[in-house]
Amino acid sequence: MRPNWRYRLQRTFFGLSSEYMENVYEQFFFLKYKGGWSFSEAYSLPVGLRTWFTERLIKQIEDEVEAIEKASKGDNNSSRHELNSDTQNLLPYDLRKKQG
């Protein structure tokens, strides 16, 4: 993605580089495609929070892939998470209110 400049000299101080903006657009696409976010939701997030959500979503997807691979190998020692009265406290408070 090479920008066309109106002047002979390239910008060296103002604005963001095309590599940075491409990375931002990749984050928008990833949050929309895999996370179900709308473009305006991702666009409105502060940079640090958007980066955190992107990294957290990547970690979640990697964990799910690992769990699927373990299950497909027939690993009976893998831990199963069943929702019961003992493990319900692991849920965030808002989700516990909706279920109980």
30 in any annotated domain: yes
- What is the pLDDT at residue 47? 93
Provide block-wise average pLDDT over 10 residues at a time, the chain (100 residues).
61 77 92 92 94 92 90 68 56 50
Is residue 79 included in any domain, yes or no? no
Residue 88 lies in a domain: no
Q: Which helix (H) or strand (E) holds 73?
A: none
Q: What is the pLDDT of residue 41?
A: 94
DSSP secondary structure code for residue 1 in this structure: -
pTM exceeding 0.95: no
Per the domain annotation, does 52 fall within a domain? yes
Domain around 34: 15-74
The reported pLDDT for the residue numbered 81 is 62
- Decide if 91 is inside a domain: no
In a domain, 43, yes or no: yes
Say what the pLDDT of residue 72 is.
Answer: 87
**Residue 49 forms part of a structural domain:** yes
Q: Provide the number of structural domains found in the chain.
A: 1
